[in-house]
A and B are shown apart, each in its own frame.
Chain A
C-alpha cells in the first residue's frame, strides 16, 4: 500500500458514504401531505368563521389530524417494508417526526380539549413545536437553512403572542405556515429529486 492506493481507498469510502446518504435522503412526501391537510384545515377554518359556525372548527382540525396520522402510519409501514437500507440519520429523523407529531396532538388537540389553556394559544404552541421540528431537522440533515426556518417559527410564536384576537393570530399563522412550512417542504422535495437524478 502506498499513498496513492490509500487515497483511492479514502475515495471509495467517501463514495459509499455519499451513495448511502443519497439513498436515504428525505423525500418530503409526508411534509407535503401534511402541508396540504393543514392548508385545507386553515381554509376550512376561514369558511366556518365566515359563516360563524365556530362550533365545528374543532371537527375540521380533528378530521385533518386523523387523516394525516392514518396516512403517515400506513406510509411509514409500507416505506419501512420496502427500504433496502436504513441509516442512523433516518432513524433519528423518524424519532423526531414522531415526537413532533405527538407534540402537535398534545398542544393542538388534547391539552386545549382538557381546558389546560385557551384555544387562542394553540397556534402559538404549534409554532413552537414547528420551530423545534425544523431546527432539529436542519441539524440532522446538515442543512442550515432549515434551522433558520426553525428560528422564524419561534419568532412567529413570540409575534403571535402580542397579537390580540384569534382571527388575526390565525392569519399570521397561515402566513408563517406558507413561508416556513410549505416552502421548506418543497425545497426538501426538490433537493430529493435532484439527488435521485444524480444517483
Chain B
C-alpha cells in the first residue's frame, strides 16, 4: 500500500483527547465538563484547551450555566462535528488493508 492511498486525517480531530471527546459526544446529546475530564483522563486546563479547539472549528457547542451555585459547562456535538467525525472514520478506514 502506498501513502497516496491514505486519506488525510482532520488535524483538529487527530489528537487523543479530542478524538475521545468526539467519541463520547457522538452518542450523547450532551456531556458535562467533569464527565469528559474523568472519561478522557485529562486535566482541567488540558481539556479546556482541546474543547476550545473543537469549538473554534465549529465541531462542538459549549454552554456555560449554573447548577445551583456551581458553574456547569456542557458540550454537545454540532452537525458540522458529526460530519467531520464521520469523515474522520472513513479516512481511518483507508489505513486498513482492503478485505478481499
| A interface list, Cβ under 8 A from B | 1-3, 5-7, 9-10, 12-13, 16-17, 19-21, 23-24, 81, 84-89, 91
Residues of B within 8 A of A2 (CB): 95
Subset of 7 A-B contacts with CB under 8 Å = A3-B95, A12-B20, A13-B23, A20-B27, A21-B27, A85-B28, A88-B29
Q: A16-B23, A19-B24, A19-B39 are in contact. Are A9 and B31 (CB under 8 A)?
A: no
Q: Which residue of A lies closest to B6 (CB)?
A: A1
Contact A12 B95 (CB under 8 A): no
* B24 contacts A86, C-beta separation under 8 Å: no
Name the interface size band of chain B.
Answer: 20 to 34
Give the interface SS of chain A, mostly helix, strand, loop or mixed.
helix
Interface of B toward A, CB cutoff 8 Å: 6, 9, 14, 16, 19-20, 23-24, 26-32, 34-35, 39, 67, 89, 92, 95-97
Q: B92 contacts A10, CB within 8 Å?
A: yes
Measured between beta carbons, the chain B residues less than 8 angstroms from A87 are 27-29
Also in contact, A16 and B28, with CB within 8 A (given A3-B95, A6-B95, A84-B34):
no
Cβ–Cβ < 8 Å partners of A86 in chain B:
28-31
* Supplied contacts A1-B14, A86-B29, 9 more A-B pairs, CB within 8 Å: A2-B95, A13-B19, A16-B20, A17-B27, A20-B27, A21-B27, A81-B67, A86-B28, A88-B29
Sorted nearest first, the 9 A-B pairs with minimum C-beta distance are A84-B35, A6-B95, A16-B23, A85-B31, A13-B23, A84-B32, A86-B29, A85-B35, A87-B28
Contact A17 B32 (CB under 8 A): no
Do the beta carbons of B95 and A1 come within 8 Å of each other?
A: yes
Partner of A89, one of B27, B34, B35: B27
Contact between B6 and A88 (Cβ–Cβ < 8 Å)?
no
Report how far A12 CA is from B20 CA in the complex, Å. 7
The listed residue (A5, A10, A16) touching B39 by CB distance below 8 A is A16
In the complex, are the beta carbons of B92 and A88 less than 8 A apart?
Answer: no
